[in-house]
Amino acid sequence: MFQKLITESTGKSPWLFHINAGSCNGCDIELVAVLTPRYDAERLGFKLTGSPRQADIVVVTGPVTKQSLPRVLRAISQVPEPRCIVTMGSCPQSGNVFRGSYSIVGPLSKYVDVDVDVAGCAPKPEAVIDGLALATKILMEKRGQKK
């Protein structure tokens, strides 16, 4: 019963941590737009945290530059289990317009298990909320398997 309560709660309070892996700032602004009064992701329990230790979902933006890769991996490893990794925008998936550059070491899925990809340059806030809701479902499944 108690385990079920915790699993239910996990689906209702996913906290986000945002990592910028060399992004052009477009996706970063769109992620914040999701939390503004117009889209208000807080009604689903989403909250932007300042510390990776308190996060459930890690949102990565940007094409994963050589400089940022070790920092991204270190920040992700600080997030307690169960956790979900969401890539936002086309950059972390394919490199987008930066593909082939000497300073890009992406895609991110070469280094960590990515749970959800939200494509677009930049993705619409609706698409971001959709992707985050999917990540929340995956988070609940992970929590359910753990017990």
Partner 1 sequence: MTIIIDGLRYLAYILIFPGFLFCFLTGLLLCGIDRKLVARMQKRIGPPILQPFYDFFKLLGKETIVPAAANKTVFLLAPLVGLAAQVVLQLFIPVFQFNAFHGVADVIVILYLLLIPALSVILGAASSGSPYAGVGLSREMVTVLSVELPLVLVLLAVAKTVGNAIGTGLCFSLTDIVNYQIANGSLITRLSMLPAVAAMLLIIPGETGSHPFDAAEAETEICEGMLAEYSGAPLAVYKLSHAIKLLTLTSMFVALFLGGIGGGVMAMFTGVSPVVAGSVGLLLEILILFVLCVVLVAICVSLIHAVTARLRIEQLFKYYWTVVTGLAAISVVLAWYGL
Residues in the site for partner 1, rule: CB under 8 A?
5-10, 12-13, 37, 40, 42-45, 48-51, 53-54, 56, 78, 80-82, 143
Smaller CB separation from partner 1, 56 or 117: 56
15, two tokens: 């906290």
Report, in Å, the least distance between residue 25 CB and partner 1.
16
26, two tokens: 């477009």
Report, in Å, the least distance between residue 41 CB and partner 1.
10
Q: Sheet holding 47-48: strands in order across?
A: 47-48, 15-20, 57-61, 84-88, 116-118
Smaller CB separation from partner 1, 51 or 101: 51
Smaller CB separation from partner 1, 70 or 81: 81
